[in-house]
Chain A
Amino acid sequence: MFGAFPPTAYPRPYRLGEALRKKRDVSTLLKRYVDDLTSTQQNAALSALTDGRLLWDNAVEGSASLLDGWEKGDLTRFFDNNYFYRRPIKNALKPSNRLALELRFMPYLNRVFPVMGPLSFSWLASGRYEIDFEYAKALASALSGYEGYLVIQEPSLLTANSVNGLREQLAESISLFPSTAKKILMTYFAPFSRLYSAMLDLPVDGLWLDCVSDPSWDATPSEYGGKRITVLGLMDARNTKLERAEEVAARVRNVTLSGEVYVAPNWGFDIIPYPVSKTKTEALGRIKKILEAS
């Protein structure tokens, strides 16, 4: 079965950013942009929807915003991007009850909700490649009862020099997240192939793969098979160049995978202009249509 997933986030439109900067009430403006994005995704007939996470400054601070007991630290570069986040400084993390508020614009089931995974959170907060169980437990509790796709972002899994010992702990921490959710492990910004077979052992329902950063990605899923859900990040979320729908669809068709296969961007659309993010969403719809027809 083929489908298409939206990005984990959409770019915060400039007008909304300006209103937030000036500390104005943004509720009307926010609703207008969420409606705009929702209808764009619906018109493209995407298989799942997001509200764009427009109020999250980034996935690190956004995930942490579901918790209490931390403060914002130094401005730090998000991997190799010209895009920065405030390093979270933990005091004593506790779950908040803000999830319902966060989900107010999301559909009930076919929604995509991204969180930073406990390994990457540790790396991004403190520069250490270790599983932050305190964060994992608090976040899992904050997400209690969540239904829909839960995208656990673990880009640091690909950049850690060694994953020995991390894999079991990562599996243990992922098991803490609510079983009501369809858990999808997402990696990005580096080739995933060398770790693909290890990722298959993790207790998740699906894998979201950054195929843009891994030129020889095609061979790996065909060789090892896949999870029940495979999300192929074939659309470059960091470039405005528009992918040709036929070419992307042809690459998807070349992979032998059973289960649910979705085409998607390789990351959030955080750092492309808002109008381009909509154009790319429309292209996702075209790719899905071609795949369905085949």
Chain B
Amino acid sequence: MFPTSVIGSYPKPKWLLRTLANNRISGEEKKRAIDDAVRLVLKEQELAGIDIPSDGEMRRVEMTEYFTARIGGFVFKGPVRVWGNNYFNKAAVVDKVYYKGPMLVDEFKFTKENTSKRVKVPITGPYTIADWSFNEYYRDKRELAGDLAKVIRQEVLELSKAGADFIQIDEPAMSTHPDEVNWGVEVLNEVVKGIGGVKFGVHICYGDYRSLFPYVLEAKVDQFALEFTNRKFRDLDLLKEYSYNKELGLGVIDVHNPRVETVQEVKYGISQALNVLPPDKIYVNPDCGLKLLSKDIAFQKLRVMVQGAREMEKEATGLG
């Protein structure tokens, strides 16, 4: 009950960042360093008690940049600021997009070889890649997202063939354009259409969740992993209002605040979700990726999250 997971990213160890920034270190050595970092991150999640870990996205710099660098049709025009002094390399689509080859399959295989746990594979969705790219080629965003859906679907099929059974499609942009959610969900459904044997989750964060409804109820996915701590669990009411009955990845950890939550706070969040959904529909995770926290804080937060989930499990099964 209350399986615990992560959204995807985990803080990169400082030694990895130094290694990756050092031009005198060869590509092969850098690859080995990333592999080591993945093993470390998996171990830390295991120590924290996470049931469904990820590789911490050690191979990715940023969630759209990683994919636009590997999908045909994009070029990079320079870094843009997201907030404060945080930047990402935002790509421009300058030609019809196309699938160049597997992007995450090796990453998944390596992760699977290094843990006995079920693994979650996060992949950025077509709507978000389209929304967070400059469009210099397509008539509009919808047309671009439609073509990107074919590319992401191809990657999902490759992951499925490789044995991935829990794929999370990250669509944080979807809640930012209320008038586009309807076709955003259609595009999402094109990615997953007819693919069996895979649990599909969707992660959406930092936007107006009300704008997602009722369209998201039409999404052919198993789970939505949403941010709740940052919004004081208020939007759980929305799920009730719309009789939401898919699984919920319940965000109980604020990823933009270094203060470590208390076990009581985690339990409070889960108890609030229990007013809306039965226990077997609730997964427990942070609000979003953990990469902006320090590694120590991220680890402590995960440990508290797991403890809260386990105590709630005991209480729910009458063993507490």
Verify if B87 is at the interface (C-beta below 8 Å from A).
yes
List the one stretch of B27-35, B127-135, B147-155, B196-204 in contact with chain A: B127-135
Contact A275 B82 (CB under 8 A): no
A-chain residues with CB within 8 Å of residue B134 when the two chains form the complex: 239-241, 272
Verify if B92 is at the interface (C-beta below 8 Å from A).
yes
Q: Contact check: which of A57, A240, A241, A275 meets B84 at CB < 8 Å?
A: A57
CB-contacts of B6-60 with A (<8 A): none
Verify if A246 is at the interface (C-beta below 8 Å from B).
no
A229-B134 Cα distance, complex, nearest whole Å: 31
Contact B135 A273 (CB under 8 A): no
Verify if A75 is at the interface (C-beta below 8 Å from B).
yes
B-chain residues with CB within 8 Å of residue A21 when the two chains form the complex: 84-85
Verify if A77 is at the interface (C-beta below 8 Å from B).
yes
CB-contacts of A77-101 with B (<8 A): 77, 80-86
Verify if A154 is at the interface (C-beta below 8 Å from B).
no
Verify if A74 is at the interface (C-beta below 8 Å from B).
yes
- A14-B78, A275-B78 known, 18 other contacts, Cβ within 8 Å: A11-B81, A18-B85, A57-B83, A57-B84, A76-B206, A81-B176, A82-B176, A84-B82, A84-B83, A86-B83, A239-B134, A240-B134, A241-B136, A271-B80, A271-B81, A271-B90, A273-B79, A276-B77
- Give B contacts to A, CB under 8 Å: 77-85, 87, 90, 92, 131-132, 134-136, 173, 176-177, 206-207, 230, 256
A-chain residues with CB within 8 Å of residue B82 when the two chains form the complex: 82-84
A selection of 14 A-B contacts at a CB cut-off of 8 Å is: A11-B81, A17-B81, A17-B87, A21-B84, A74-B230, A74-B256, A75-B256, A80-B176, A80-B177, A239-B136, A271-B90, A272-B134, A273-B79, A274-B78
- Give A contacts to B, CB under 8 Å: 11-12, 14, 17-18, 20-21, 57-58, 74-77, 80-86, 239-241, 270-276
Residue of A nearest to B137 (CB): A241
Contact A20 B77 (CB under 8 A): no
A57-B85 Cα distance, complex, nearest whole Å: 8
Contact B173 A82 (CB under 8 A): yes
A116-B79 Cα distance, complex, nearest whole Å: 25
Q: Measured between C-beta atoms, what is the minimum distance from A72 to chain B in Å?
A: 10
B-chain residues with CB within 8 Å of residue A11 when the two chains form the complex: 80-81
A166-B17 Cα distance, complex, nearest whole Å: 51
Contact B80 A272 (CB under 8 A): yes
A273-B79 Cα distance, complex, nearest whole Å: 6
Q: Measured between C-beta atoms, what is the minimum distance from B257 to chain A in Å?
A: 9
A272-B206 Cα distance, complex, nearest whole Å: 21
B-chain residues with CB within 8 Å of residue A12 when the two chains form the complex: 81, 85
A17-B82 Cα distance, complex, nearest whole Å: 11
